[in-house]
Amino acid sequence: MDRLLSALALLQSEAPEELPIDMETLWLISIVATLVFLAIGIAVGYWVYKDAADRGNSETLWAIGVALSFLLFPLGLVVPAAYFVLRGEKVPETPEEPASAGDW
């Protein structure tokens, strides 16, 4: 136990007093990272919206859920993966037949 405490004291004495980066730089990095994840979330949310509309799913809920999940980093990777698993098959488009004047 004494060895562990002495090793911990040695590590604390060798730790730098200040961070090599000032607080303004840390704030700038966090703001830029948030904006990047927000842009990625919006882009993936838009793609999910278009894909869910083709598959007959609730496109609005999926798009909002995927876009917002990118603000929480680990969840931002899990929710799109869950969409790929749960999205289902594409709904076939039925072509509309033109109305003919002779059909009564």
Q: What is the pLDDT of residue 28?
A: 93
d(CA 45, CA 68): 8
* pTM, rounded to two decimals: 0.59
Q: What is the pLDDT of residue 29?
A: 92
List average pLDDT for each run of 10 residues in the chain, which is 104 residues long.
67 62 88 87 87 84 82 78 81 65 59
> How high is the pLDDT of residue 38?
83
pLDDT at 8: 63
Contacts of 98 (CB under 8 A, 6+ apart): none
Residue with tokens 């840390």: 26
